[in-house]
Amino acid sequence: MSINNNLNSISNTIPENIALIAVSKTQPVASILEAYQAGQRGFGENKIQEMAEKFDILPKDIEWHMIGHLQSNKVKYMAHFVHLIHGVDSFKTLEEINKQALKHNRNINCLLEVKIASEATKFGLSFAETEKLLKSEELKNLKNINISGLMGMASFTEDNDIIRTEFKNLKNFFDSLQEYKSFNVNPTILSMGMSGDYKIALEEGSTMIRVGSAIFGSRNYN
Ligand SMILES: *Cc1c(COP(=O)(O)O)cnc(C)c1O
């Protein structure tokens, strides 16, 4: 199957109000252009430098999503163009994003990454840590960020019941966050679901799916 065919078959089976992010990490520019020509505009990368290099040479109406774990010292390389940062899991990172956004006189949309998988290696905040961050007085000082929702990754398992439960828990938590709404907290996006589990994620209330290998084929690394 071609990239074009893969994209069409996925977009034809997901509801219209669901955002499909094509995860293009490690993929060559030619493959991204093929997806672009098929109409895809949202792309996801997990390394800031790789994303910045691709931004420089690709069409400027692409919306770039940073889905990887963030190193604060690299935020400056994407602050002028990034559309949505999915993997924010500390106040310190939010402060750095705010600082860099201010330099470019813009507002950067962020998702808080919440740890829902049982594996010890996954990044992310606990539910309690997320609430603590949203309640904190210091958050009000960050005028150039907008917390637009949450991102989560389910356990890497064949057991769909585990995956479903993890997504369900995140959706319930997401719904409970409406009480924290403020000038820089507007939780409308729930980013969950990848190639292997996006169908379950959509059944459990995802609004944004991040799909790589089901569009571009399998990756050699990462
Ligand atoms: C790589 C990656 C994806 C896409 O994974 P596929 O299984 O190829 O669809 C989605 N989200 C994150 C955070 C990733 O790192």
Mutate to test the pocket of ligand 1, among 10, 43, 194, 222 (most ligand atoms within 8 A of CB): 194
- 58-95 tens-digit pLDDT: 999 999 999 999 989 999 999 999 999 999 999 999 99
196 Cβ closer than 6 Å to some ligand 1 atom: yes
Q: Which residues of the chain have pLDDT under 70?
A: 121-122, 220-222
205 Cβ closer than 6 Å to some ligand 1 atom: no
Could you tell me the distance, in angstroms and rounded to a whole number, from the CA of residue 139 to the centre of ligand 1?
Answer: 29
Residue at 83 is within a domain = yes
Q: What does the alpha-carbon distance between residue 102 and residue 165 come to, in Å, rounded to a whole number?
A: 39
CATH of the domain at 140: 3.20.20.10
* H helical segments located in 72-176: 91-103, 127-135, 160-176
Nearest ligand 1 atom to alpha carbon 21: 10
Could you tell me the distance, in angstroms and rounded to a whole number, from the CA of residue 131 to the centre of ligand 1?
Answer: 26
User: How many domains is the chain built from?
Assistant: 1
Report the helix count and the strand count for the chain, using DSSP H and E. 8, 8
Residue at 42 is within a domain = yes
Kindly report whether the global pTM for this prediction surpasses the value 0.75: yes
Residue at 222 is within a domain = no
Full domain range(s) for residue 16: 3-216
